[in-house]
Structure 1
């Protein structure tokens, strides 16, 4: 089975005046359909930078990222945006829900960004996913009216509404207590398996990482033995 994503020799440096900081060094990664991978590392290890590069939100200083056999490096921002919307879902620690929109409107947003998707169809698909995450009774509530766990479930529904081949999650349970974190991860895993979506999450929580199929340790921008 062909991989969803292949990253080859990813390097990332930042230059500030005469100071050059090497954030990522020579990273390779291959992700296959349905796979569940956890990248573990402390704050400042380069986890989020790597996730942004793999998701086409940032570009490497050198190296290549291939998504469904297409090189993201060779695309302009519009083309990368289209690839993200078609193939990827994103979950962030702090949700990034739009405060002025309801739960169903937030979840429908990725579909409404696609050309020729009727609003009613987008709302229907968003409603179905919110019902699956137990929020069918909260469709018309805005983020400020939801608890932290509920907002995270809305974020999961939004990431999965387009049926992406890969979900990228940045500390998806980092701001939740233990019970809510376990509940959210269990829900995400269940939906991921149902849709045969691959999951790549970055976390500092080794207990959470242990639930993944594969664990990778990132330290000072390089892979180390887990």
Structure 2
């Protein structure tokens, strides 16, 4: 199975866990791995060097919001999203369209300011882009934008609807829902021959689907870079 493997919420506080997960994936031959970096979380020189070391070993970088938190819930749609999916992580949903674009540009500039490779991919926290149409994304400096339903290629102006599996489950109800969701998406990937997105969060090996995650990694697959989607059908 072809996989798009990513580690989410990469910040100084999760860097040790990120490194451990990256090494596990590397040992399983699942590289490249895309690291979703949250810039506004207190990066220092030592943490930046650790990030560069993983890039040298096959990691790729993506933008992932700014602080990955919201100070307030903005409106009923955001409230519902926070209850069902994101809790207080979907920072785009607390912002206006202009605020979202400004955040994304600030995110992109941070990488250059710290001598890191410019990311091609942007993933909003909780995969929630907010009110930003594709026509506006086409004008931003990221080539790819990932949301819950798939990946938008801004250069080709083409949306790839892709299956996804995740493991961030801290309650029995979430674990049951996500396990079923993962089974359905694995079946979709196999029947459609589409790449499956494998999204891993820093604490997933301590949560309720840890054994399932280990099994998925143990089964291996062919890891792709997000830029490889340019050669895939929509």
TM-score bucket of the superposed structures, by smaller chain: 0.3 to 0.5
Structure with more strand by fraction: 1
> Under a length normalisation based on structure 1, what TM-score does the superposition of the two structures give?
0.34
> Under a length normalisation based on structure 2, what TM-score does the superposition of the two structures give?
0.33
Higher relative contact order (CA 8 A, sep 6+): 1
Structure with more helix by fraction: 2
